[in-house]
Amino acid sequence: MTCLSCKSGDCLESTTTYFAELHNCMIIVKNVPCLKCSQCGEVTFNNSVAKKLYELMQQADALANELTIIDYATKVA
């Protein structure tokens, strides 16, 4: 797949670290599967990964810590 951002790189399967701020809490999700552009580094998530990230954000919000670090492989209740 060609990168939608730079239009010249190839998107390859990889993993990334996802950062989000939610209600004054910093959330870090490690080892998230993604497609990463070989040219510009742009990261894209497929629908199932985006859905799981959303579920992990809901789970982290319930913990209400100032900093939460989650591995992507974490089971969502």
Q: Which domain holds residue 59?
A: 11-71
Say if 67 falls within a structural domain.
Answer: yes
Q: What CATH number is associated with residue 31?
A: 3.10.20
Whether 36 and 14 have beta carbons less than 8 Å apart is answered as yes
Say if 4 falls within a structural domain.
Answer: no
The count of domains in the chain is: 1
Along the 77 residues of the chain, how does pLDDT read in single tens digits?
899 999 999 999 999 999 998 877 888 999 999 999 999 999 999 999 999 999 988 887 777 668 888 888 877 66
- Distances in Å between the Cα of 40 and the Cα atoms of 13, 54, 73 are 14, 25, 27
Say if 42 falls within a structural domain.
Answer: yes
Note the pTM of the prediction, 2 decimals.
0.80
- Distances in Å between the Cα of 76 and the Cα atoms of 1, 33, 44, 45, 71 are 30, 16, 22, 18, 11
Say if 6 falls within a structural domain.
Answer: no
Give the Cα separation of 49 and 53 in Å (integer): 6
User: Per the structure block, which two tokens stand in for 14?
Assistant: 């990889």
pLDDT at 1: 85
